[in-house]
Structure 1
Amino acid sequence: MITDVPGVRVGHHHRIGGGWATGTTVVLLPAGTVGGVDCRGGAPGTRETDLLAPQNLVERVDAVCLSGGSAYGLAAADGVMRWLGERGVGYPVGQRPHEVVPIVPAAVIFDLPRGDWGNWPTAEFGYAACAAATGGPVEEGSVGAGAGARAGSLKGGVGTASACVGEFTLGAIAVCNARGEAVDPATGRFWVDGAVPESAVPSPGAGTDRPPDLNTTIGVVATDAALDKAQCSRLAMSAQHGLARAVRPSHTLFDGDTVFAAATGARPVAGPAERDALNTSAAEVFATAVARAVRAASTVGDLRAYRDTWG
């Protein structure tokens, strides 16, 4: 799990039922963590991504907020900022310890059709997710930001995975809400479990009455390696390759696929070969996290889960 990276904590808060199917997931990061980001697709919903560009001032990030609710759900990051600010965590801007601005990049998925209009995450969702965050096991499936997620024709959700890369630990968390399919609709086999010719992949919605939708898969890849902002951005780019392996098609006009990268800096990196190994692993681990999100999801309303469709 992403919490295998020392110091990384994850918390969920969501509401399901009674006209609700949405939520927020927060990744809390240890002091000194460097951040990066990679955005793809035609419909992103993000906050503070420009700040993570290598040429800009702030290098450290305090948390990443992943949320449902489309652009409305970006308000959940306000609650994350409040929770961190109350604890004096953030970029110092004054003479006194509490005078800080927490650095909280955020991204959202489009899950508005899952609930009643107006039922989307607020600042209280972000605050509650922070309060629930732990460094232990991470609940997967239809929880947090994945509560109302849809993965092609199936229920999407939250998934996480990790790997050891030499002396480093690398983990990922993904909220799969993709326009494309994570499984072969003809066989139920996950794309990450075996190569399938592109010609065998149907267009989104082919053979169904599903109307065009807005989607987006979002997530975080984290490591205990010491990377700068540019190297973190490269790590996030590599994780996007993993999304392309796990979902077909990915990065469409209807998706705003966004992956954040976080490097805690606990272990020095000797050179390019170690960074390349981390990048390669990022693609594999993020692909696994995406598949796990769909495998773990539960049916919500009339949106059936993989486990209820394929057993």
Structure 2
Amino acid sequence: MRAGPTNSLMDVAGLRVGHAHRVGDGYRTGTTVVLAPAGGAVAGVDVRGAAPGTRETELLDPRNLVERVHAVVLTGGSSYGLGAACGVVDRLADAGIGYPVAGGVVPIVPAAVIFDLGRGGTFRAVPDATLGTAAYDAAAPGTAPFPQRAVTPDGGMDALPPAGAEVPWGREGTAALGTVSGSIGAGTGAAAGGLAGGVGTASVILPGGATLAALVVVNPAGSVLDPADGTLAGTRYGLPGEFPLRPPAKHEVEAWHPQHEPSFNTTIGVVATDLTLTKAQCGKLAGVAHDGLARAIRPAHTMTDGDTIFALATCARPAPGHDTLQDALAAAADVFSRAIAHAVLAATGREGAPAYLDVFPSATEKRS
């Protein structure tokens, strides 16, 4: 198998991703929006963590009415951050996108949150509808095509920051960075077992030509490291050449003693494909993606994690046969593990949450 052209969720044609964040003045948090094609995407969900913060997940039960969603919101702010979805709903409604009812439309926008309260210094400095609107605007058609650019608060355009770079525009900003991993959007304040967490994304082209991809916000209570040698656990599922790393030096592993914060965390994400799937099959796809989460994070699905994965099917390709569906399910776990590894590897370190390569610099060194 091989990655798609951008190795990101946006390799699934029709999906768009936008991020918005606030850093400073007590804030370190953000919101990420995944926009479906105009007609929506068939969706499912699987919630495995014992402390989820979610919106509209019951609609995705195959027994319930709605077949398609119009966006998915991933956000910081714990339960307070669910307000970010309101800004996305308003934007979709203004565009006439939603489930048709008498008198108008009702946009269907499921959402899930991570716990990042207080990581910028102020407990209630959380995403709101304004931040959701900003993330939507960054994702909406009409933002810069590939190579994408970062949209600054004054409306200007900055060069795309390199992976792992601090987002360059200060307190507040939005970014049409759907192909980039790191400390952006909902992952701005994320932490991963003492390391900096963030947003990660990856994709794969299946043998029959279909695309499967994932986007994840990595903020677990558990560790993202292989306990045997300190490597990023998710990298073992990488495609050839995807992660040019080696196990870090033994003395670096022995010296790593992460700070232990209160374990209210959560990893959330989206796995998507261009295949035609039913709601039930989307639910299964999300469930198998949780296997990838558990391979890359240890332990996962704890009492204080709210681990939630949404699955989207754009239905641009025909319904899969048995073998293609099996390929998609198998790939869902691997692509989610890879996205987790990209998130941690690209995250920007900060006080109390260093970057992986700040702690284990020898992981990129050549040794005889």
- Alignment pair present for 1:243 and 2:288: no
Q: Distance in 1 between matches of 2:228 and 2:314?
A: 42
* 1:171 alignment partner in structure 2: 213
Deviations 1:129-188 (A, max 9, x none): 010115745232111000000100101000000000122111100000011111136743
* 2:355 alignment partner in structure 1: 305
Give matches, 1:3-22, under 5 Å.
3-22=10-29
* 1:199 alignment partner in structure 2: none
Q: Distance in 2 between matches of 1:265 and 1:51?
A: 19
- Alignment pair present for 1:184 and 2:226: yes
Q: Distance in 2 between matches of 1:16 and 1:309?
A: 23
* CA shift for structure 1 position 275: 1.2
* CA shift for structure 1 position 194: 4.4
Q: Distance in 2 between matches of 1:19 and 1:211?
A: 18
Instruction: Decide whether the 8 Å contact of 1:32 with 1:265 is kept in 2.
Output: no
Give matches, 1:200-219, under 5 Å.
210-219=260-269
Deviations 1:13-52 (A, max 9, x none): 0012232110000000012410000000211000000000
Moved over 6 A (4+): none
* 1:155 alignment partner in structure 2: 196
**CA separation of 1:32 and 1:130: change in aligned 2, threshold 3 A:** closer
RMSD, aligned CA: 1.7
Ranges in structure 1 where 5+ consecutive residues have no aligned partner: 196-205
Q: Distance in 1 between matches of 2:27 and 2:259?
A: 24
Query: What TM-score, normalized by structure 1, do the two folds share?
Result: 0.92
* CA shift for structure 1 position 306: 1.0
Q: Which amino acid aligns with 1:27?
A: V
Q: Distance in 2 between matches of 1:11 and 1:146?
A: 12
* 1:203 alignment partner in structure 2: none
* CA shift for structure 1 position 193: 3.5
Deviations 1:87-146 (A, max 9, x none): 000001125xxx111000000000003121221000011100010115745232111000
Helix, strand or coil: the match of 2:274? strand
Give matches, 1:279-294, under 5 Å.
279-294=329-344
Give matches, 1:27-176, under 5 Å.
27-30=34-37, 31-95=39-103, 99-115=104-120, 116-133=122-139, 136=146, 137-165=178-206, 166-176=208-218
Q: Distance in 2 between matches of 1:272 and 1:228?
A: 14
Q: Which amino acid aligns with 1:101?
A: V
Q: Distance in 2 between matches of 1:208 and 1:25?
A: 27
* CA shift for structure 1 position 8: 0.4
Q: Distance in 1 between matches of 2:261 and 2:57?
A: 30
Q: Which amino acid aligns with 2:88?
A: V
Q: Distance in 1 between matches of 2:257 and 2:268?
A: 27
Ranges in structure 2 where 5+ consecutive residues have no aligned partner: 1-7, 147-177, 238-255, 362-368
Q: Distance in 1 between matches of 2:350 and 2:260?
A: 17
Q: Distance in 2 between matches of 1:269 and 1:167?
A: 13
Q: Which amino acid aligns with 1:122?
A: D
After alignment, is 113-122 or 59-68 more displaced?
A: 113-122
* CA shift for structure 1 position 244: 0.6
Instruction: Decide whether the 8 Å contact of 2:82 with 2:113 is kept in 1.
Output: yes
Q: Which amino acid aligns with 1:153?
A: G
* 1:23 alignment partner in structure 2: 30
Alignment: residue pair count: 298
Percentage identity across aligned positions? 55
Helix, strand or coil: the match of 1:26? strand
Instruction: Decide whether the 8 Å contact of 1:298 with 1:307 is kept in 2.
Output: no
* CA shift for structure 1 position 209: 5.8
**CA separation of 1:118 and 1:193: change in aligned 2, threshold 3 A:** closer
Helix, strand or coil: the match of 2:316? strand
Q: Distance in 2 between matches of 1:208 and 1:307?
A: 14
